[in-house]
């Protein structure tokens, strides 16, 4: 929730306010190595003098069952350390035997940089709990609260609590170690279900390539890959 990078548009729109360059991000994962449970996402961030705009699209599933999402977001700074953001979403669901359902909702976030090294953020998705487009099927509301801390120049620590109102609360935490500017190593865990993750990031000027895998003791591994690029402003 507190990381200010191209993937802020997926995690906490408020963090987009600290992104100063036009940026694109692509992400893909294959849950438990099953193509039917794949998840793919892409988006772009446009900073302007009036605030920061973003556009995202995601697709999860396969031809028999899939979920689609498109979001248009906006973020701005309230002060040098506080920002807010909002995103309006289109949600679509396709089930081969039942047809298609769609709806609109929104999500919003807040980010506070308490100090240069310590930040906290909050996010809510679908606070109005809209219907998915199918009879008696509500889209879940999700609440998140997170913190992060820069422990020196090489180590970052982040933690997050999240609650889908239809499920038990989850807790996740992770750590990043910057070996050199071009190579970052990461590890983390999540509860309910218990997942353990490991990964690395490679930075080549404005290009960042991140790969990781999470491990579930029963269902196995989930490989993940993301690529982002920031178009630096000409001096």
**Residue 117 pLDDT level (bands cut at 50, 70, 90):** very high
Q: What is the pTM of this model?
A: 0.92
Quote the CA–CA distance of 72 and 46 in Å, as a whole number.
11
Residue 70 has pLDDT above 90, yes or no: yes
pLDDT above 70 coverage of the chain, percent: 99
Quote the CA–CA distance of 96 and 197 in Å, as a whole number.
33
Mean pLDDT of 136-157: 94
Q: How far is CA 154 from CA 116, 141, 209, 210, 217, in A?
A: 15, 36, 18, 17, 31
Which residues are CB-contacts of 157 (< 8 A; sequence separation ≥ 6)? Answer: 148, 149, 151, 173, 174, 175
Mean pLDDT of 82-103: 94
């Amino acid at each position: 929730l507190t990381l200010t990078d191209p993937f802020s548009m997926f995690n906490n729109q408020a963090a987009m306010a600290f992104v100063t360059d036009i940026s694109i991000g692509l992400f893909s994962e294959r849950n438990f190595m099953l193509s039917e449970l794949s998840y793919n996402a892409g988006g772009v961030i446009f900073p302007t003098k009036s605030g920061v705009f973003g556009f995202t699209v995601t697709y999860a599933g396969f031809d028999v069952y899939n979920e689609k999402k498109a979001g248009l977001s906006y973020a701005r700074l309230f002060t040098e350390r506080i920002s807010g953001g909002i995103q309006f979403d289109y949600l679509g669901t396709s089930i081969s035997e039942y047809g298609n359902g769609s709806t609109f909702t929104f999500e919003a976030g807040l980010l506070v940089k308490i100090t240069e090294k310590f930040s906290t953020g909050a996010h809510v998705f679908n606070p109005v709990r809209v219907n998915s487009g199918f009879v008696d099927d509500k889209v879940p509301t999700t609440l998140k609260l997170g913190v992060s801390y820069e422990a020196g120049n090489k180590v970052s620590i982040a933690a997050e609590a999240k609650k889908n109102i239809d499920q038990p609360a989850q807790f996740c935490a992770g750590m990043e170690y910057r070996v050199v500017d071009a190579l970052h190593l990461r590890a983390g865990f999540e509860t309910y279900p218990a997942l353990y993750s490991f990964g690395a990031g490679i930075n080549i000027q404005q290009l960042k390539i991140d790969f990781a895998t999470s491990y579930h003791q029963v269902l196995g591994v989930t490989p993940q890959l993301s690529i982002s690029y920031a178009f630096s402003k000409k001096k």
